[in-house]
Every structure is written in C-alpha cells, then in structure tokens.
Homo-oligomer: A and B are copies of this chain.
Amino acid sequence: MGLDQQHWSEECGVVGLAGINGAGELAALALHALQHRGQESAGVSVSDGHTVHTHREMGLVADIFTEPVVKSLGGNFSLGHVRYSTTGSSLVENAQPLQVTCHRGAIALAHNGNLVNAHTLKREMETDGSIFTTSSDTEVFVHLVARSKADSFEDAIAEAVQRVEGAYSLAALTRDKLIAVRDPNGFRPMCIGRFQDSYIVASESCAFDIIGATYLRDIAPGEMVVLDGDGLTSRQVMQPAKPSQCVFEHIYFSRPDSTVFGQSVDAIRRKCGAILGRESHVDADFVCAVPDSSNTAALGYAQATGLPFELALIRNHYVGRTFISPAQKVRDMSVRIKFNTVQNIMQGKRVVLIDDSVVRGTTMRKLVKVIKAAGAKEVHLRIASPPVTHPCYYGIDTPVRNELIASSHTVEEICTYLRADSLQYLSLDGLMEATGEREKYCAACFDGNYPVPFELDISQEIVESSNEILGVGSPDGP
C-alpha cells in the first residue's frame, strides 16, 4: 500500500474547533497533522460568531496556508478539511469545506466518507428543481440540510442524516456553532478532544496532539455533537446500526501515532505484524518494511519472530508529482525515485519484506526487482492484511479502478507475478484478532460482506476488466 498509495486514496481529514481565539489558525495547524489523509486540496472555514468565510485551494496545507492567509483567518469557530489526491478531474469547486447560504444563513460543510445513495438523492432533488455546481456528495448533503423545515441547523442536520446512506463523518460550521455527526455504522473515524476551555473534533487524534489538545472519546455511531463555544451537547440522532469501522484505517490510512476507533493504531499494526509472523514462518536473515506505512507492522513481525529488524529501504520524501518521460519509465524509475536500497545490507541475504497491503501489485513487482538487483538472495513478501478482493463503496477510491489483483488471482499466481520467492498475507482471522473487536469492523474489501447496500451503477465498472491485470505485466514490462 505504501507502494500503491495513489490508487487507494479517496480519504479525507476533517477538523473543527469552537469557542477559541485563533480558531482558524489552529485548524490550519491541525490540518498539517491530517495531511496524509488528502493532498489534493485543503480548506478552512472560520466564523467570528457573525460571518462565515472559507479559504480553500488546490495543493498542500503548507502551500495554501501561508503567513498572509493564516493571518487573515481569525475566528472563534473553524472547520478544516484536506481532500484526497486523484489525477483526473481535480477542480477547486470540489474542494471542501463547501460554503453556501440557505434560509437559515451561511453554513460550511466538510465530510469524510461516501454517501452510497448520493446519486439517487441528487437525481431526485434535481427533478425537484435543485441545481448542482460540484460533483461531490457533500453538496447533496448540503441540499438536504437546506431543504429541511426544521428550526435550527442542528435539527436540519439531524433530519438530513435520516435520508443519506453510507459512510460519513461530517462537520458543519455555522455562524456560532460547530456540529459534527457520524453515520450509524461508524465507518469513518471522528473523535472529540479537549483544548483549553474548549472542544475540538477531528478525524484522527494526531490532529489534537499537534496543537496540544487531548483525546476525550470517539463520536459514537449515529451521534451528533454540537459545540457552541460554551460547551458540548450530544444527541443520538440515529439508531446505531451494525458497527462497521473501516479496518483499513488501522492497516494503512491513519497515522500510527493516532488513536482511531478508540485504539492505538500503532498497537494494532504491531499486533498485525506479530500475528503475521506467527502465521507465516520463513527462514530468513532479516525483516524490513516498505517505508513508512509498513514500519510498525514490520517491527511487530520482527519482535514476534526474533528476526532482526533492518532499515534496508530508504524512502525519498521529496518526491511529489515528478514527471518521468516514457523513455525513462522503462528503467523502473517510477519506483526508484521513491525507494532505494541501502548498500550491502541486501547482499546475499534472505529478506522478509513487509508491506501493509497489496492492491494492484504493479509497483511491488518493480520493487522486488530492485531489491533482487541489490543482491537479495530471496525475497519473502509478507502482507500485513488479507488479499483485497472487493472494491470499497464507503469512501475509498477503488470502485472506479479495476485493479485488485487478488480479485481474480490466487496467492500463488500473485507471487509469480511479483517475482517474489514466497508470498503470504495475514489471515482475516489474524487481522480481526489484532483489532480485538472483530464484531465492530467492516472488512468488505476482504470478504465482500458489505454492511450497507449501494447503488448498482457504481458497482458495475470493475467486473469485466479484472482479468486483464496480469496481462499488463509482461516479463520485462514496467
């Protein structure tokens, strides 16, 4: 997954503050800690109790929130958002927060997740005369809030959530309130922290740490919390449904220093590595990770197996949207530009290489080649999660891409394709053992048990093309 980050990445990060001076700047700072959840665009909405204003742009938080922009933010209430990076139709119109005015006044809204009935709702509201200026499902939610006859924004949001289905952890900023709510299944994380005399909500607790706030608890599935500057009030606006926490948050998305779904991400990754070590013994000289997302699992694997932990691959953190011409691409530069092997360590060694997950396999194929070229005698690939066989419809960007190698090939076939000496995945049982709360997680990408039904037209795209995957990689191919 470290290898396929760009192809499995429709994630977002949200943060909100209320009743604190400098709320806008604090939100911008907190977004730095959430930057791993989305590098395409970032935005911060602020309110001084009277007027709501939004600044959002394409790009990274540090490039957008420069000194003059930060100084102009001000505000006692704020809402921040980072959005995932995809290649194609990236438009600033789709950046969040989305600010509009409706009969109750101004509201800015940001969310993480995916509404599975957005298309139907959009068609329905269009038929009823609504217009849409973006292609994001956030706008669908905003329309529902605006259409509610309820007296307050809180009640309107409480009404709107009855209509939407799917995964959403959303936060809204009004003139004088910050409102946050999580879907009844609790797919996406959102937690509450304490900052001085005020409260903060965020997708991950690492956003609290960066400003010195402390983690209190998760927002519960179906719960709405309202921060009005004086304090926090909570309402259970929906009946909790089958708990469906996204296990991929623990596997890959979240930062290891975060508490997510009430648990330390580091601790779970470590257990995944340890259980993987137990399940997939191999005689080898050392363990190394595909940095950085697999470091913790690799450390757990090493500690469990007694094999030495090595830093044998170096990741280049300066690599962004580097242009590489077709002529250079055949020389594996797309992987070489991101990873390099440390001299001599691989030479003649039997290496256990840990990655957190494998989606398409194309980049891993090149990486194995690079490691062998560095002298490794054997490369034993160990994946700290089960084979990804099904697309996600709850906020992850796989559905539109027919690139799940495990959806149509056996582990053995994949191993051959990747040119590894052995390949083993963590079992689903092992993964759930690591979480310690099997019944609380969605693992649809591994087992196809989708907790919430989705619109059919979304799910079609991947079917026919999945068999083409291995054909892409000819023996000397990219």
Contacts and interface: CB of A to CB of B under 8 A. Distances in A.
Interface of A: 22, 25-26, 29, 32-33, 35-36, 39, 60-63, 65-67, 70-71, 98-103, 123, 126-127, 129-133, 142-143, 146-148, 205-206, 209-212, 255-259, 264, 266-267, 292, 295-296, 299, 303, 308-311, 314, 316-325, 327-328, 331-333, 336-337, 340-345
Nearest to A196: B331
A64 to B, nearest CB: 11
A343 B133 contact: no
A348 to B, nearest CB: 15
A209 B316 CA distance: 12
A115 to B, nearest CB: 16
B132 A102 contact: yes
Contact of A206 (B63, B70, B340): B340
Contacts of A71: 325
Given A25-B328, A212-B331, A32 B259 contact: no
B256 A318 contact: no
Contacts of A211: 328, 331, 333, 336
A318 B61 contact: yes
Given A71-B325, A209-B341, A342-B256, A132 B62 contact: no
Contact of A257 (B32, B322, B327, B341): B341
Contacts of A259: 343
A225 to B, nearest CB: 22
A256 B35 CA distance: 26
Given A256-B311, A299-B309, A62 B321 contact: yes
Nearest to A66: B323
B65 A316 contact: no
Most buried by B among A65, A256, A258, A318: A318
A258 B344 CA distance: 10
Most buried by B among A26, A205, A323, A336: A323
A22 B328 contact: yes
B133 A146 contact: no
Contacts of A343: 205, 257-259, 264, 266-267
Given A62-B319, A103-B127, 9 more contacts: A32-B318, A32-B337, A33-B316, A206-B314, A209-B340, A255-B314, A264-B342, A266-B344, A299-B310
B129 A210 contact: no
A140 to B, nearest CB: 11
Nearest to A65: B323
A65 B320 CA distance: 11
B147 A129 contact: yes
A336 B213 CA distance: 11
A286 to B, nearest CB: 11
Contact of A333 (B29, B132, B328): B29
A469 to B, nearest CB: 26
24 contacts: A29-B322, A32-B322, A33-B337, A35-B318, A39-B318, A62-B319, A98-B133, A101-B126, A102-B129, A102-B131, A129-B147, A129-B148, A131-B143, A131-B146, A209-B336, A210-B333, A210-B336, A210-B337, A211-B333, A257-B340, A264-B342, A266-B342, A296-B311, A303-B308
A275 to B, nearest CB: 18
Contacts of A342: 256-257, 264, 266
B103 A123 contact: yes
A103 B129 CA distance: 7
Contacts of A99: 133
A142 B131 contact: yes
Contact of A266 (B100, B311, B320, B325): B311
